[in-house]
Structure 1
Amino acid sequence: MQWGQIKTLFIISFLVLDLFLLQQFLEKQNQSQLSQLAIENEETADELKDRGIEFSDDILNMDVPNVNGINSEGIEFSEEVLSQIETLDEEEGQTVQLLENETVLRVALTDPVEVSEDSIREDIVDLVPFADQYSYWGFNEEENIALFFQKVNDRTVYFNQGGVLMVRVEEGEITEYVSTLLSFSNEETDQSQESNQLISPLNIILQLEENGEIESGDEVTAMQVGYYSFFNLVPSQDNGPQRFGPTWKVVVNGDEFHFLFATNGRILELDESSFINRTIDAFDFYENEKIEEDDGDTNIGQGE
């Protein structure tokens, strides 16, 4: 074997060895970081327990999700959704209207549909052809409103008038609904970009306790990450892009909700009733108010 070939083999061998050693180093470094995070997580858990805050093992062992902020380009029904809305004209027993330059859909049922709180998720699918783009939030008994929020990337967009489905229920029957959708055309690109590290679930709980939002004896029963923006786009207006940040929703004692931006822990003051009332005002979605055709609005049709 010639010296040149031997030298080449030595170079390749040392290169392979270097790559192996680098891999070993990175694995040990990663294990060290994970061990440190586990120690910090355990210390935070002990601190919360000492303060009387309860939480399940699922929350204790919950991984921090990799979620980016996303941009909305505005309030807009896609061509697919608009074609689905057009099919509503063929249905009987309803008045269908597109408002605000076709950015708001309002439907009144002349033949109300019987519904219960337990069945409304399934029943709304039969009424709204694009209902799969929303997640059910809950039923507000004071306002007789069932509330659905738009979802994107399988995560909920909380309390935004640009992506909402509000269903009015009177005496156990659906009588009308109003809906909007935000456009997220670049959501997959945003999700593939490197994101800021989100605050861990236990540190979010600690943030709530230190700010007096929860106290000894409270139990955190569920946590999940969605999206929220401080700004609500106005239908039919050119508002420009809207940024939605990853947001922790924390459920306490089964029925108390807290929201915090997941990257900086900022506590958000969000109230269901206030949001419903603002949305009713914004869309003139008042009880027992008959839909009338206004200038610039499109009345799709009325079932017989």
Structure 2
Amino acid sequence: MDWSKSKSIFIVVFLILNIFLYSLYVNRYTEAQLVPVLGDKDIEARLQDDHITYGTLPTNVEKAAYLSGEVKNFDEEKIDIQNAHSIIVENKNKLVVTLKNPVKISNINNEINYKLFLQNHVYEGESYSLWQVDKENKKVTFFQRVKDRKVYYNINGVLTLHLNEKDEVIRYEQTLLEKIEEYEEQENLLTPVQVFQALYSKGLLKPNSNITELKLGYSTLVQLTRTQVFVPTWEVRVTTSDNKHEEYFVNAVEGKIIDVQLDATKVEAVENEVEDALKAEEIQKQIKENNEDVVEE
């Protein structure tokens, strides 16, 4: 393959990337327009009729700003981590750390028991909050916290601990967002009742369910570039009548329901394709240079 053909393939890959981003935006915008508007009294009455319950709602969250930040490049500085057997940097933005001595976590379901580990063994460890404990696969997932609020499912702000059978941390992978800045304009946020309205209108709040948690965090509008923008997002946790646990995320400014896990998966897949294209381009460039050297000789 010649160099011009390689460049053409590279351009096509980024064209596909742009189409993907645009389609993602259009789908989100269209979904937001389809949500019917109900009054607060209407939605509260409907929840009551369907025996959908909830506890005390937040009353002091009325405004918040968009945030911006950058993906940490771990190649830019020497990372020194206590008790590290090996530290590997993957793709500049991911640390893979294997510990020299496993570290015991006394109760893996209790976030406070990770505090010392995060302080002593993880770069900027206090920036992360516990999200999920996967006992079957012996994995513990933390999301990065900015402005004291979680950033949901951003592949560039995640800490994943790997445990052995004794619930000891043996290694972990880490990505990090840095240089977080707050936009000047404070946005009016949806009230908790309006969040319930958005979910109910989509049929996501089922009869006899209990809304167990409502918290404000951030989700990422686009996470394919080094500089990223985060939008205030309501996290809603629900327990259904058959004791299933569900989680939903609602854009706190526009009222759109966000499938953050799906978006993160799509983004990761596209990033992998772009990375493969970059590697292929570099290989072709090297082959071309080698061929030119042979001709000159």
**TM-score of the aligned structures, taking structure 2 as reference length:** 0.65
Query: Residue 203 and residue 151 in structure 1: after superposition, are their counterparts in 2 closer, same or farther (change >3 A)?
Result: same
| Greater length-normalized contact order (CA 8 Å, ≥ 6 residues apart) | 1
Between the aligned partners of 1:205 and 1:185, the Cα distance in structure 2 is: 30
Which of 139, 145, 153 aligns to 2:139? It is 145
Q: Does the 8 Å contact 1:64/1:199 carry over to 2?
A: no
1:199 is matched with which residue?
190
Shift of 1:197: 1.5
Which structure 2 segments of 5+ residues have no match?
Answer: 1-38, 273-297
What CA deviation, in whole Å up to 9, does each residue of 1:239-264 have, x standing for no partner? 25322111110011294211111112
| Residue 239 (structure 2) pairs with residue 245 (structure 1) | no
Shift of 1:184: 3.1
2:152 is matched with which residue?
158
Shift of 1:163: 0.9
| Residue 61 (structure 2) pairs with residue 71 (structure 1) | no
Q: Whose strand fraction is larger, Structure 1's or Structure 2's?
A: 2
Matches of residues 1-304 of structure 1 in structure 2 within 5 Å?
A: 41=40, 44-56=43-55, 58-59=56-57, 62-76=59-73, 82=77, 85-86=79-80, 88=81, 91-92=82-83, 94-101=85-92, 103-115=93-105, 116-117=107-108, 118=110, 119-171=113-165, 172-187=167-182, 190=183, 193-233=184-224, 239-253=225-239, 255-271=245-261
Which structure 1 segments of 5+ residues have no match?
Answer: 1-39, 234-238, 283-304
AA at the equivalent of 1:175: I
Q: Aligned residues: percent identity?
A: 26
- Secondary structure of the structure 2 residue equivalent to 1:52: coil
Between the aligned partners of 2:140 and 2:169, the Cα distance in structure 1 is: 9
What CA deviation, in whole Å up to 9, does each residue of 1:172-199 have, x standing for no partner? 2211001111123423xx1xx2333211
Between the aligned partners of 1:201 and 1:107, the Cα distance in structure 2 is: 40
Shift of 1:159: 0.5
1:6 is matched with which residue?
none
What CA deviation, in whole Å up to 9, does each residue of 1:258-294 have, x standing for no partner? 111111221122449x86xx69x97xxxxxxxxxxxx
Quote the RMSD (CA, aligned, Å). 2.9
Between the aligned partners of 1:78 and 1:95, the Cα distance in structure 2 is: 15
AA at the equivalent of 2:211: V
Between the aligned partners of 1:139 and 1:250, the Cα distance in structure 2 is: 18
How many residue pairs align between the two structures? 221
Between the aligned partners of 2:236 and 2:52, the Cα distance in structure 1 is: 13
1:291 is matched with which residue?
none
Q: Does the 8 Å contact 2:152/2:260 carry over to 1?
A: no
- Secondary structure of the structure 1 residue equivalent to 2:187: coil
